[in-house]
Amino acid sequence: MPMSHVQAQNSSRIIPLADLQAQHQRLWPELQPAIDRVFATSDFILGEEVRLFEAEFAAYCHASEAIACGNGTDALELALWAIGVGPGDEVITVPNTFAATAEAIVRCGAVPRFVDVDPQTLLMDVCKLESAITPRTRAIIPVHLYGSCADVSAVMEIASRHGLSVIEDAAQAQGATSHGKKAGATGRAGCFSFYPGKNLGACGDAGAVITSDRQLADRLRQARDHGRAGKKYEHAFVGRNSRMDSLQGAILRVKLRYLDAWNARRREIATMYRDLLAGTSVVPVAVPDTSEPVYHQFVVRTAEREALRRALDEEGIRTGIHYPIPLHRQPAFAPYVSVAEADRLSVADATAGQILSLPMYPELADRDVCRVAASISQCRPAARIPAA
């Protein structure tokens, strides 16, 4: 049957991996007054809007304190520094994450130690965690990848036996839960990025650390502001400049009110994808039973990723890869990993060549989800990755 004009238009329309313009157009009647409030006061750095956002985000995460900072990388580095991580220490994390996770460890003078991930969820394999602990281990950073939480309770149990701190990398998991607790709220601290593309994204760089340790919160607030001791030009220690702009605080306050609804929509889209892709040659990355995910990305695995990606791109469907090169294979971190250690990270190595992120954002229409799934179904069948 000949394709109708409407069908032709729909099939030629680009489906982006994410669509921030759609979000901001819808929110503009609320964002504009929030921005105007900041300009009316000229209170641009760590102002009232930031203080209000800190209180609201802490309450949302069920934590006592939220400390806003310049970005998610700073959040990790500040948290590690504040718990005393420094030269000679080791910090355990996973290799299939953004460079910032290990970068923060190295910038504190410590050494990243990588443990492999579960072959179905691609989250930290807790069964391999304890064997990675050495006398020099100071902390563990589980990464809540793709909006699913690692089993933080299991990590905490191991950490407690060895006297270690747990810092949650929750950059992709605003609103997700692990064992019913919000991401970031179980460990000693939880670190968030509000990079624009995140589930809760600023209009620029921004980040935060949450904690229920008051002393740690006080130290973090000083550290982000040049070690300031309270009064202007009085500095208790050498800190850094990692202060959130008031404009970002005002924007994040508006967006925070919609986060649960956006996350619910992401879960609806994920359910559609799973149903529509059943029986195809791609396998969605599994979600652990202990987590309620928020699907920062919807990631599938396929044995012929590049062929599928090219085919979807020709159909006007944009995709991504999170992440194509594990950190132990990156030149920046290879010096910290021996050959024997790298060989033990076989799951991260194998899956790096299989993963593909499909379009995922709250404004994604049902018809576009169907179009993505139909395009995948029409692609040449590939060798199937075993399902979870």
Residue 146, both tokens: 């793709």
**Residue ranges per structural domain of the chain:** 24-256, 260-378
The 10s digit of each residue's pLDDT in 163-220 is: 999 999 999 999 999 999 999 999 999 999 999 999 999 999 999 999 999 999 999 9
The 10s digit of each residue's pLDDT in 218-252 is: 999 999 999 998 788 999 999 999 999 999 999 99
| Closest alpha carbon to 190 in 58, 55, 50, 56 | 58
Annotate 184-228 with DSSP letters as a single string. TSSSSEEEEE--TTSSS--SS--EEEEES-HHHHHHHHHHHBTTB
pLDDT of residue 380: 63
With a cut of 90, say whether residue 89 has pLDDT above it.
yes
pLDDT of residue 6: 41
Residue 82, both tokens: 């504040």
Q: How far is 261 from 107, CA to CA, in rounded Å?
A: 37
The 10s digit of each residue's pLDDT in 75-88 is: 999 999 999 999 99
pLDDT band (50, 70, 90) for residue 96: very high
Question: Around Cβ 20, how many Cβ atoms within 10 Å?
Answer: 14
Residue 255, both tokens: 């967006």
pLDDT, mean of residues 322-327? 98
Fold classification of 24-256 is Aspartate Aminotransferase; domain 2 (3.40.640)
Residue type for position 206: A
pLDDT band (50, 70, 90) for residue 383: low
For residue 385, the 8-state DSSP code is P
pLDDT band (50, 70, 90) for residue 4: very low
pLDDT band (50, 70, 90) for residue 386: low
At residue 176's C-alpha, the angle toward residues 276 and 269, to 5°, is 20
Annotate 115-135 with DSSP letters as a single string. --B-TTT-SB-GGGTGGG--T
Alpha helices by DSSP H, the chain: 5-12, 20-41, 48-61, 72-82, 99-107, 152-162, 214-224, 246-256, 259-277, 305-314, 339-343, 346-352, 366-378
pLDDT, mean of residues 346-353? 97
Q: Name 364's Cβ contacts closer than 8 Å, sequence gap at least 6.
A: 15, 19, 269
Three-class SS state of 328: helix
| Closest alpha carbon to 148 in 114, 171, 166 | 171
Give me the helix-helix angle, 366-378 and 5-12, nearest 10°: 80
Domains 24-256 and 260-378 in one fold = no
pLDDT of residue 230: 77
Mean pLDDT, the chain, integer = 94
pLDDT band (50, 70, 90) for residue 8: very low
Q: Does domain 260-378 have CATH number 3.90.1150.10?
A: yes
